[in-house]
Each structure stands twice: as C-alpha cells, then as structure tokens.
Chains A and B, each alone.
Chain A
Amino acid sequence: MLIVGIALCYLLGCSVVMAVSRKFSLAEITGCSFLIGMGLETVFLFLLDIVQLHFTSFLLISLNLVAIIVLNRKFPETLKVFKEKFNDLKASTSAINYVAVFLFCIIAYLFYTITIKNLFWPPAEGDSITSFDKLARVIALEGKLKISLFQYNLQGAAGVYPPLFHGSFSYVYLFGAETPKIVITLFFLSLLTLFYSFVKTYTNTVAAMLFTLVLMATPELYAHAALALGNMPTAAYICPAVLATYIWLDRNDEKYFRMGAIMMGFCVWIRSDAIAFVIAVLCMILLKVWQTKDYKRLFIFAAIAILPFVSWLLYVKLKIQLPQASRFDLSIGYNTYRLSTMLNYTKAYLFALPYREVHGGQLYGIVFVSFFVALLINAALAFKNGIKIVFGNQYLLLAFILVAFGLYFTEFYVINENVQASTIASLMASSFKRGMFYFIPIVLFYTATCHSSKILFGKLEKFRTGA
C-alpha cells in the first residue's frame, strides 16, 4: 500500500509539472514531482478537513486518480515528450564523462548509507516526538487535522505549523507505513536532484556534480537526512522556489516563473516563518521588474506565494482557535546582550568559527567560507573586467541572500523568549542553526555559477575533453 501512496504522489506531482510546462528536464521533473505531489496531498488533507470528511487511503486514492486523469487529458502527447526526453538523455550520455560518474558514485554511496540509517530508526528526536510525528500519527488515526489533542493543549509546538511536513507523515501512515521516514529520504533526493539540475543550467556536468556532492556532504544537512525534522524538507522547497525564480528573472524563461511561484507557495505551506523568504524573493523580483515595468508578474507571483500562508492563518484563527501569545516581541528595541549573542553565533556559522557549544566549521564545512571566498575573488575580477561582466544578473541572487538573511536574523531578534520557553542563546544554537539550511543551496548555487567558478570549471572541462 505504501508503494501505491508514494507512486500516486509522484504521478500527481509529475502531472502538475507537465501541465505547467513540457520543457522541464528529466532531473527537474523528478525533483519537482515529489515536492509538488506531496504538497498537493497535504492540500487534499486540508480540503477534506474543511468539508469534514474523514481521511482514508481509499478517499485519497480516489482524489489522486481524479486529479491525475484531469491533468493528463493529453496523455499521448505527454508520453511522446517523455520518449523524446529519454532519447535526448541517451544521446547526451553516449560519451561517458568519467569524472561525473566518479562523483556520482560518491553521491550515490553517501545517499545509500544515510538512507539505511534513516530507514532503520523510527523518529525519536525530541521535536518529532513532542510535535511532528505525534501530530502525524494522531491525524492519521483520527482522520482530521484538528485532532482531539488541541482540546488539551497536547498537540506540541508544531500544532499551529502549516500541515505540509507533518501532513506528509500522516499521508504515508494512511498508506500503512510503520514509520514515516521514507518521506525524509524523498525530500532529500528531491533537493539534490533539483539543485543539480539548476546548477547544470549554468555550468558543466562536472561542476554541477561536484557542488551537489558539497551540498549533500554538508555535515549538519547530511545528519538531518536521517532525522524526522522539518528544516531539511523546508530547504528542499526553498531551493527550487528561489533558484527557479532567479532563472526566470535571468533568462526570462516562463516555465521557471511558474515553478518558482508554485514552490514559493509550498514554502509557506511547510513553515509559516518562511514568509521572510517570500518577501526576499518579491524584493528580488521587484529589482528586476523595476526596469521592465511588468508589475503584473510580481502581483501574480505574490498572490500564488501568499495564498497558502493566508489560508493557513485563517484556518488557525477560525478553526483551531488556539489561544496563543505572539511569538514576536516587537517592542524589544535595542538589546545589546541579545544582539551581541546573535552576532557571535552568526559569525561562528558564517565564518566556520567556534562559539560556546557550536562550531561553524563542524556544522557547515566549507559552504559559507567558499561563498565568501568566491565573492571576494569576483569582486577583485570586477575591478579588472567590470561589474556587469563579472556579476551580470547575479546581483539579484546576492540581493536575495542579503534581504532574506536580514529578515531571518530580525525574526530571531524579535522572538519572544518567554513564549518560546527558551533563551536566545539556546534558540541560536538550535533553531537558528537548523534554519541556516535554507541558505546553503542558494549560496552554493552562487559559488558554483559565479564568474570565477565558470572560468575555473571551463578550463577543467577543456582539459578533461582535450578540446
């Protein structure tokens, strides 16, 4: 039964991707299918809850089949497109790229080992037990989102989180899974596949494969590929949301506009505080449309991205009706202790330094350090060759990183320690640390596709092919 559930999820996602555009690469289709499919499964759960229908696997199968049939009215054409894509793939792999194969083997081995670990252990992390997995199990058992535990305030902190993450666990429980962690593996796979395909859009296979390896091997991220926590899956949505939007802005390719908007919507459907990333992406779009004056696109994007956020906010207010104090204390003003604590932790994470119990190098390895090195090299090259040649449209990506990080930092600065029942130091060492995942694919994408990397990997490719 579980295989049926997962297959339906992929088929549904694939149908949506093909309806959005038939021009996506196979890697993009594979990566997006699961993310969009699982996102939609949780939208189904949400809608069933609204109309007060008890969730069952039979009901979900029926809904999936109807949706898949409706989306595949032009099925023979879709089949033809897939055939062409597979033929293209065959043709492009006729000359073996041994370096890429070597790197792929390492990626495959690392993926295999972390998957073994992930699937062996049931969820046993504190947040999973007190919130995510508990919610998921009870939702599957009671067949509704507003479970009985809300009545006694036993739902845990994630009770007010949008349902994508714990809903994905419920979905596999409804299809008979003993533990829901297969979902974690599939989120991780989607993240890697999409990251690879986005980097490949701008550079060669060896560079894309190498940076995918760097992304995957990031110590803290790799560890989370075996934990039932929501940060890595959130990163799996933020990565395509931001990068697809960037590619749309850079190359004016319509299909990426649609993919970016849909994925952005799912970002706030997995975590409400990802709204900071929506704002940062809207700023990035605004920077571009300021020149083209195509504000219509900005509004369409904003509407698609914000709709799930508003829907969930209304659901929490009107249906769950949980009395809760505000998570943020906006009257905090200037607090020297808090600011210096936060800056010290941030410095440790970004520059691979130790601070109290954390060590940035141990957590994120070379990710942020290589980003800053790349930035410095490109700044130096910009003096010689001109800013436009070196940075091109990548100023959009850098602006996004700056705004998103500023908002993310501010979110924590104004967080209410009493409501969170945690000190700012402890929040920085746990929540903030895990939230850094959202930036990892974006900064690595910049490092892989910046001017200096393109020169370096271009030369390597020339040497490799002997051209």
Chain B
Amino acid sequence: MARGKQHPPSDKPEKKPTASSSGFSVGPFFRNFIIIFLLSVIFIGIYSLNDKRVELPDLYNELQTLKERPGDHDERINEIEHRINEIETDTSFLKTLFVGYFDEIHFVAFGVQDQIDKVTAEIQNGSNTPLTREDKLNYKVHTYRLLDFINANSPSNAVILLPPTDSLINDSRWNYVYDPGWVEYFIYPRLCIETGHEKENPELARRITHVLIVNGIGYDKLKYEVPLDKREKVCLLPINKPVDAPETTDTTQTSN
C-alpha cells in the first residue's frame, strides 16, 4: 500500500501497458481473475466431491415404484438398494464435511425452480388458475381434505372430539388428526379435544358437539346408535342425534 502511495502507477514507466486512460488497469484485474478462478476451482471441487448423490432421488423414486408395483422385480430392487447403499455409505470425513453444501446447492439452489414448477403443474392439473394457500397446504398436509371437510360440515362454534392417539399413532396416513394442538390450526374458530383427555378439560368436554370418526373408531362416543351397515370408516357426526334424522341412521357427512 505504502509503495503504491510513493509511486503512483502513472510514474512507473515499466507498468505503462497495464493502465488505460479511464484508470482501469489490467494488472489488478488479472490478479482478481486469478483469485476468482481459484475460488471457482475450490467450489467446483467441493461440489463434485459428492456428485454421485445426484442419482439418489431417481433411485429412491424407482425403488418406491417397484415396491408398490406387483410382479417380480427383486433383481432390480437389489441392484438399486446396492447402489443407494454404495452412495449413502461413502462417508469419508472430507465428503461428509461438504455433503450438506452439495445437497443445498444441487437440490435447493439449482433445483428449487424445477421443483416449484413440477408441484405447480401437479396441483393445477392442466388448469392455469393461480395456486392458493389452501392448494399448497393440501399438497403438503395429506390430511388437509379431512380437516377442510370438518370446517365445511360443522358450525364455527363446534367442538370436535378427536380419535384417541393410540388408535392411530401407528398409521401414518392419519398423522396428527388425533393431536388437538395440530388440528386446531386448521379448524379454528372451532375447538377440539382428544378422546381420553376429557377430564383434563371438563369445560370443553361438556361442549362437544361432533365426533370425528377415523378408521371406524369413535362410534361409541355418540349418544345414539348407528347401524353397523351404515357406519362409514371416516366421517364427522354430531354427538347428539340430529332432530330431523331418520330413526337409526346418520350417514350425512362422510369424507373419502
């Protein structure tokens, strides 16, 4: 720096080809370029350390498809599992130090727009209507339709009795529809309470207006009988027998 101050570039005849009339000098530009080049090499090197992981999403997708499809695919399944194992267990210290960066660059930075386009096309299903928050929640939360169904089929002051946790906890299809803290987010201003926790919240338990039946569980909580042949697997029923309902049935509100 000090040397630069003592000898401005214009005073240095030996450096005359490096300076232009606008003050732009080739020397510093070239030096900057060298550093940029070296940084690029380092970044690309880090990226390519884990580049086998590019294959992973396709391999996992194929594996899932083969497992769901009937027929004998054992040979291909073994082949895929072997390849996945090979990639996932390639865990030298250097590679694992940078694997997170690879995933974020490849799958998020480079892949996010494609993923969004893919999801958008999937949700829109041919139409061009802009996506709403509800559309996206429906895509992300697989029980969203059921929760939306509760809103559509109960008044805003309803109190819903949810199925007990232990009846559904091992069935991921119904994840969290037993958790009042989770369900409340989707059904507010309606309230909810979990079966088996009525004593902890007696005031709310007294106000129960509807029972959410999931996997056929919850019919015993109704204050009236529903014939076995009329029982839906998943539905929302009023806890008290509706005044205008037929003698022994209540099949009015069901969800798929």
List chain B residues, Cβ under 8 A from A99: 32, 35-36, 39
Is B223 interfacial (CB 8 A cutoff)? no
A126 CA / B96 CA spacing, docked (Å) = 28
CB distance from A363 to the nearest CB of B (A): 6
List chain A residues, Cβ under 8 A from B137: 122, 124
A98 CA / B108 CA spacing, docked (Å) = 26
Is B41 interfacial (CB 8 A cutoff)? no
Given A148-B189, A156-B181, A218-B100, 20 extra CB contacts under 8 A:
A98-B33, A98-B36, A110-B109, A117-B112, A121-B140, A126-B182, A134-B188, A138-B188, A153-B201, A154-B181, A219-B103, A222-B108, A226-B108, A352-B96, A361-B96, A362-B100, A365-B97, A366-B98, A463-B35, A465-B31
Q: Which of A117-135 contact B (CB under 8 A)?
A: 117, 120-122, 124, 126, 129-131, 133-134
Q: Evaluate contact between B108 and A120: CB separation under 8 angstroms.
A: no
Q: Evaluate contact between A116 and B97: CB separation under 8 angstroms.
A: no
Q: Evaluate contact between B99 and A362: CB separation under 8 angstroms.
A: yes
If the complex has contacts A122-B133, A122-B136, A219-B104, are A152 and B109 also in contact, measured as CB distance less than 8 A? no
24 sampled A-B residue pairs with Cβ under 8 A: A98-B29, A99-B32, A106-B43, A113-B109, A116-B116, A121-B136, A122-B133, A126-B182, A129-B182, A148-B189, A152-B201, A152-B204, A153-B200, A154-B181, A223-B108, A226-B108, A361-B98, A363-B100, A364-B100, A365-B97, A365-B101, A366-B97, A369-B97, A467-B3
List chain B residues, Cβ under 8 A from A219: 100-101, 103-104
Is A3 interfacial (CB 8 A cutoff)? no
A109 CA / B193 CA spacing, docked (Å) = 46
If the complex has contacts A154-B191, A362-B99, are A463 and B116 also in contact, measured as CB distance less than 8 A? no
If the complex has contacts A222-B104, A467-B4, are A149 and B109 also in contact, measured as CB distance less than 8 A? no
Q: Evaluate contact between A179 and B36: CB separation under 8 angstroms.
A: no
Name A130's contact: one of B110, B185, B200 (CB within 8 Å).
Answer: B185
A153 CA / B186 CA spacing, docked (Å) = 16
- The size class of the interface chain A forms with chain B is 35 or more
Is B91 interfacial (CB 8 A cutoff)? yes
CB distance from B132 to the nearest CB of A (A): 8
Q: Evaluate contact between B108 and A102: CB separation under 8 angstroms.
A: no
Is A464 interfacial (CB 8 A cutoff)? yes
Residue of B nearest to A364 (CB): B100
Name B96's contact: one of A117, A226, A359 (CB within 8 Å).
Answer: A359
List chain B residues, Cβ under 8 A from A226: 108
Is B180 interfacial (CB 8 A cutoff)? yes
Is A343 interfacial (CB 8 A cutoff)? no
Q: Which of B3-50 contact A (CB under 8 A)?
A: 3-4, 27-29, 31-33, 35-36, 39, 43
Best-buried of A154, A217, A467 by chain B (most CB within 10 Å): A154
Q: Which 6 A-B pairs have the closest CB atoms?
A: A219-B100, A98-B32, A361-B96, A130-B181, A124-B140, A134-B185
Name A354's contact: one of B3, B91, B116, B179 (CB within 8 Å).
Answer: B91
Q: Evaluate contact between A130 and B109: CB separation under 8 angstroms.
A: no
Residues 134-147 of chain B, each 1 if its beta carbon lies under 8 Å from chain A, else 0: 00110011000000
A223 CA / B180 CA spacing, docked (Å) = 28
Q: Evaluate contact between B98 and A365: CB separation under 8 angstroms.
A: yes
A124 CA / B140 CA spacing, docked (Å) = 7
CB distance from A18 to the nearest CB of B (A): 33
Is B215 interfacial (CB 8 A cutoff)? no
List chain A residues, Cβ under 8 A from B31: 463-466
List chain B residues, Cβ under 8 A from A149: 184, 188
Q: Evaluate contact between B191 and A152: CB separation under 8 angstroms.
A: yes
Residues 177-207 of chain B, each 1 if its beta carbon lies under 8 Å from chain A, else 0: 0011110111011011100000011011000
List chain A residues, Cβ under 8 A from B245: none
A151 CA / B159 CA spacing, docked (Å) = 14
Q: Evaluate contact between B104 and A464: CB separation under 8 angstroms.
A: no
Q: Evaluate contact between A465 and B96: CB separation under 8 angstroms.
A: no
Tally inter-chain residue pairs, CB-CB below 8 A.
136
A467 CA / B110 CA spacing, docked (Å) = 38
CB distance from B210 to the nearest CB of A (A): 16
Q: Evaluate contact between A133 and B113: CB separation under 8 angstroms.
A: no
A354 CA / B90 CA spacing, docked (Å) = 13
List chain A residues, Cβ under 8 A from B191: 152, 154
Is A460 interfacial (CB 8 A cutoff)? yes
Q: Evaluate contact between A220 and B39: CB separation under 8 angstroms.
A: no
CB distance from A379 to the nearest CB of B (A): 22
Q: Evaluate contact between B91 and A130: CB separation under 8 angstroms.
A: no
Is B228 interfacial (CB 8 A cutoff)? no
Q: Evaluate contact between B36 and A362: CB separation under 8 angstroms.
A: no
Residues 358-389 of chain A, each 1 if its beta carbon lies under 8 Å from chain B, else 0: 01011111100100000000000000000000
If the complex has contacts A122-B133, A134-B188, A464-B35, are A220 and B100 also in contact, measured as CB distance less than 8 A? yes
Residue of A nearest to B201 (CB): A152
Is A144 interfacial (CB 8 A cutoff)? no
Is A137 interfacial (CB 8 A cutoff)? yes
Residues 137-157 of chain A, each 1 if its beta carbon lies under 8 Å from chain B, else 0: 110010000001101111010
If the complex has contacts A130-B179, A219-B100, A363-B100, are A120 and B33 also in contact, measured as CB distance less than 8 A? no
CB distance from A150 to the nearest CB of B (A): 12
A226 CA / B109 CA spacing, docked (Å) = 12
Q: Evaluate contact between B100 and A361: CB separation under 8 angstroms.
A: yes
Is B243 interfacial (CB 8 A cutoff)? no
A206 CA / B38 CA spacing, docked (Å) = 14
List chain A residues, Cβ under 8 A from B3: 467
A366 CA / B97 CA spacing, docked (Å) = 6
A220 CA / B137 CA spacing, docked (Å) = 23
Is A178 interfacial (CB 8 A cutoff)? yes
Is A97 interfacial (CB 8 A cutoff)? yes
Residue of A nearest to B25 (CB): A466
Is A114 interfacial (CB 8 A cutoff)? yes
A179 CA / B204 CA spacing, docked (Å) = 30
